[in-house]
Structure 1
Amino acid sequence: MKLRDPGKIKEALNDLDFPAAKEEIVRHARSRGARRDVDQALSALPPADYANIREVLRSVPLDPDPDLSESERAERHRQAKHKNRLSEHEIPIRPSPVEEELRRRR
């Protein structure tokens, strides 16, 4: 799950003493009544020891377009998925570096 507002993580962890392990971070956020999206984002952290809040925020996947509705997200996903719309045999293939070198030597 991608988090829309990193400020909610800062609120949930503002009084946590660092360094802290992932389990300690999740436990602390839950004890402070973190929202479901924050809890899910922190639960998805890689297991590690985090030196500070910046390391936690770098490890949490953030939503690049938090203002889009779900239908707008679905439409953007559909467009990206079918952007090329070429058959596999029509997609140009870039020659390998070996082939490029052989062509230059000719």
Structure 2
Amino acid sequence: MTAHTTLEEIFSAIDAVDFPAGKETLVRTAQQAGASGEVVRALQEIPAEEYGSREDIAHSVRLDPDSDIPRSAGEKGAQARQGGKPGLSQHLREAPKPPVDEELER
């Protein structure tokens, strides 16, 4: 799911954060700053890990394809398919289980 917000709004909401910071800190700071529901949702959807800078967050947050992040069409498509920031382990990504795994769990 993509959020209907911009990086500028997200960065404004987490302006008081000292990096590195975890996902919970980012969400809590945005809520305390009175951020919109879309900004909070965008931060809630990033992977639970430590972020060292705003750039790390920009690579992890999933925004509308028409957002203010300067990316090529290929980069936008890759993020839409995979989510998360580049280099994030596959087991940490939100992806449906293959049918074989579902069958084995029965």
TM-score interval for Structure 1 and Structure 2 normalised by the shorter chain? 0.5 to 0.7
Name the structure 2 match of 1:99: none
Q: Give a deviation string over 1:80-100, Cα, whole Å, max 9, x none.
A: xxxxxxxxxxxxxxxxxxxxx
Name the structure 1 match of 2:56: 55
Matches within 5 A, 1:23-102: 23-65=24-66
Counterpart code for 1:50: Y
Name the structure 2 match of 1:13: 14
Q: 5+ unaligned residues in a row in structure 2: which ranges?
A: 68-106
Question: Max radius of gyration: which structure?
Answer: 1
Q: 5+ unaligned residues in a row in structure 1: which ranges?
A: 67-106
Which structure carries more helix by proportion? 1
Decide whether the 8 Å contact of 1:6 with 1:57 is kept in 2.
yes
TM-score normalised by structure 1 residue count: 0.58
Residue 24 of structure 1: how far off its partner (Å): 0.7
TM-score normalised by structure 2 residue count: 0.58
- When the two chains are superposed, the root-mean-square deviation of aligned CA atoms in Å is 1.3
Residue 32 of structure 1: how far off its partner (Å): 0.4
Partner Cα distance (1:33, 1:5) in 2: 16
The 3-state SS of whatever aligns with 2:48 is: coil
Counterpart code for 1:44: E
Decide whether the 8 Å contact of 1:19 with 1:50 is kept in 2.
yes
Higher relative contact order (CA 8 A, sep 6+): 1
